[in-house]
Amino acid sequence: MTAGQEFVKKIRPAGVALFLLIFILYLIICFTSRPDPLAGYEAPHNSTYYAQSDEALGELKAELEANVFPKLAGDESCTVKDGKLEIVTGGENFNTCRSAILKHFDAELFEFIRS
């Protein structure tokens, strides 16, 4: 018997347990993940454009209010403050709103506040 065969013989029970654990974790992640609330959304400009000025942030505010917030559950509001968009959203929808917006825009543009 070679060294490789001996190693496989010793690790066999742990290898099966590890495979089953990874498989169970995979199934849990697949069946508990939520769909993207902004599926198919394309931002009209990139984050560099919106970071240029407060007027551009005003355009981003209008874009979010017209096309993004209606697709998200809950009440979201935003205002331009100190060169950033301050987004206020409900506690239970906070993580969903934040992750959906940050998929399309850079975090430097926003300040998220949980209401």
Q: How many residues does the chain have?
A: 115
Q: Look up the pTM and report it.
A: 0.67
CATH number at 87 reads 3.30.70
User: What is the model's pLDDT at position 106?
Assistant: 92
Greater pLDDT, 43 or 73: 43
User: What is the model's pLDDT at position 60?
Assistant: 92
Structural domain total, the chain: 2
Quick one: 62 and 17 in the same domain?
Answer: no
Q: Please list the alpha-helical segments (H only) found in the chain.
A: 3-32, 47-50, 54-63, 94-102
39 in a structural domain: no
